[in-house]
Each structure stands twice: as structure tokens, then as C-alpha cells.
Amino acid sequence: MDMSEINFSLDYAGVRGELRHDQPMKNYTSWRAGGSAERIYLPADLPDLAAFLRGLPWNEPVYVMGLGSNLLVRDGGVRGSVVVLHARLNGLQLESDMGQMLIYAGAGVACAKVARFAALQGLGGAEFLAGIPGTVGGALAMNAGCYGTETWDIVSSVQTIDRLGILRRRPPGNYEIGYRHVALKAEKSSGSQKMGARENAPDDSLTDEWFSGAWFALPRDHAAAVRQKIKELLARRIHTQPLNLPNAGSVFRNPENDKAARLIESCGLKEFRIGGAMVSPRHANFIVNTGGATASDIEAVIAAVRETVKKQTGVELKQEVRIIGTPARPELHVSRTAYRKDGGYGG
């Protein structure tokens, strides 16, 4: 076995998680494609994650992901540390806050698990989470939704962690929330740096903040009725989505008063392919890996779909999936494609 693939425990101050070097990201993303990460860290729990973040150099690139269901890593890989939260920050429990019953879920909990847990508690309103193939952290970061409901519709408050390992509990009012968009509102600073900030670190290195969990407020409902709704939503998902092949869910956001899938299909792009990447014949807003697709194949299909739809319909499709890392060869980079540059969640 390659020694770089062996897990080991970090041995410095308070850190207990697993650090893995030179890891192929195709093993961590739902597209099953992409280059390697310089480092991957799997925290033991929330205090361990805080200790890990505090120990990083201020200029270390950090990316946080869950199931990797909304993420493409370019074939040249990604420098820095990728923190994988799925099944790590996995707390899930019923709590009471001033007489109101809330469900707390850690950022690494799969969304479908939250939906099932709510049903067991006789709480409704979270059924749509069963149709989101990602984690709570990813759903919060992009306000994921389906079948008419979005994640932040049921959020009571969230917990975040920053690069200094500081935890905060924030209400929805701290954020600008929209369709597939969540951004922390600008805060007035009482000082030049946060308490405990590293000397000589640029200001923007102190603003990285990731979701570590959330409290969901849900109304009482009949458990049997909630379970039936979940069953119906899952049946609809199986019928309409290409779940038999690796994919990252919806690639583009729906334009106002329209559907990305309808626009793509109207341009005759179903089954359009480059290499092993293909626009799904079942759902035109899904790009599937038919076998052996590279990240460059997938990115090229994304760019071609956007360009064709723009040319034929005049609509500029906005990308929903995140793309990080460097191309295997610079000349393969598709500069027309717009990318998010934050280190947020990938599903």
C-alpha cells in the first residue's frame, strides 16, 4: 500500500482526527472524477475541527465539503486542506428552546437522515430534505431545496466555526438568503482584528466561516403522513433523475420563471457528450459520468451547454455546482465558465 494513503492520528495539541495525503478526490465526490487533494482532514468531532483549524498557517487554502454531491475538482487537483465533514459532525437530536421543539443536526449529517429523524419525532416540513443528496452543511451554504421548499425556510439558527476555531450561533437575520444563495451580512468591527487573530495575517484570512450545524423549527404532524410524503418524494426523484450514474445533481440554477432543464432540452442537448461526460437523457440539468469521465470532460460539457443555451435562447445559465482546483494542463481551462471562489461546502 502507498504510505501516503495510510490514515494516521495527528499528534499535536489536541488534534485527534485523520490526515490523509495526496488523495484522489474522485473517491470523495459524487461525480467520481477529478484530481487529488494535497491533504484531506477528517475531524474526530467539533472540538477537534476547531483545534485543526487553529493550527493551520493563515495562508493555507481550506475547503470544506460533505458528501461532495455539488463539487467538481479539476484534474490538476487542489492545493491546501480539504476538510470532510460527512459522518464526522454527525450530531442529530431533539432539543427544547423556550418551549419550542427543535431538531439539531451537525453539518456532516446527510439531509435524508434529518428528514427521516423528523418523521420519527412526528414533525413535518423537512420531507423535502429526503430529496437533497448532500449534507446539512452543504444545504445551508447554498440554500438547497426541491419540490417547493428551501433549507432556510425551516432554519431557526445556525452554528458556525471560523479559522480561529471560534464557534458562533447565528440567527437567519445575519444572512442574505435567496435562491441558491446565502451570504453573511457585513458586520461592524470593534477592533482591527478578531480576538486571538494571528499577527501579520491579511484581514480576509480572518473572515472564513463555515456552517458546523443548525437548529430546525418544524411543526407537529402525523408521523405516518410525514413518512408517506417522504416516500412519494423519493419515488418522484427516482422516476425523474439519473440516479444510476455518477452525477452532482442540478448543474445550473433555474432562471426566474423558467427551468434550466427545459432550456437545455429545447436546445437539443440531451445526450450531448464530451469524453465520458454526458447531458442526461432523463434530466437535462444533470451531467452524468458514463464511465471514465475526467473533470475536464465534465467542465467542457458545462461550458458548452451554457454557451449553446445563451446563443439559442439569450438566457445566461448560472452555475450551481462548485468547481475548485487547477486543470491538468492550463490550456484545458475553460475561461468562459464562471466559478465560485469561496471555500464553502460541496454538498
> Active-site residue numbers?
180, 250, 320
Q: What one-character DSSP code corresponds to residue 254?
A: P
Please list, in sequence order, all residues whose beta carbon lies within 8 angstroms of the beta carbon of residue 38, skipping any fewer than 6 positions away: 21, 22, 77, 78, 79, 80, 81
Maximum alpha-carbon separation in the chain: 59
Q: What one-character DSSP code corresponds to residue 105?
A: E
Distance CA 153, CA 268 (A): 35
Q: Which three cell numbers stand for residue 196?
A: 486571538
Instruction: Mark residue 204 as left, alpha or beta (left: phi above 0; alpha: psi -120 to 50; beta: remaining).
Output: alpha
CB-CB contact of 263 with 315 (8 Å): yes
Q: Where are the alpha helices (DSSP H) in the chain?
A: 46-55, 111-120, 136-142, 223-240, 260-266, 295-313
Distance CA 252, CA 260 (A): 6
Distance CA 260, CA 230 (A): 25
Q: Give Cα 342 to chain centroid, integer Å.
A: 12
Distance CA 141, CA 296 (A): 25
CB-CB contact of 109 with 136 (8 Å): yes
Q: What strands lie across the sheet with 36-42, from one edge to the other?
A: 8-9, 18-24, 36-42, 78-84, 62-65
First to last CA, the chain: 30
What are the DSSP calls for 170-183, one per residue?
E-GGGEEEETTEEE
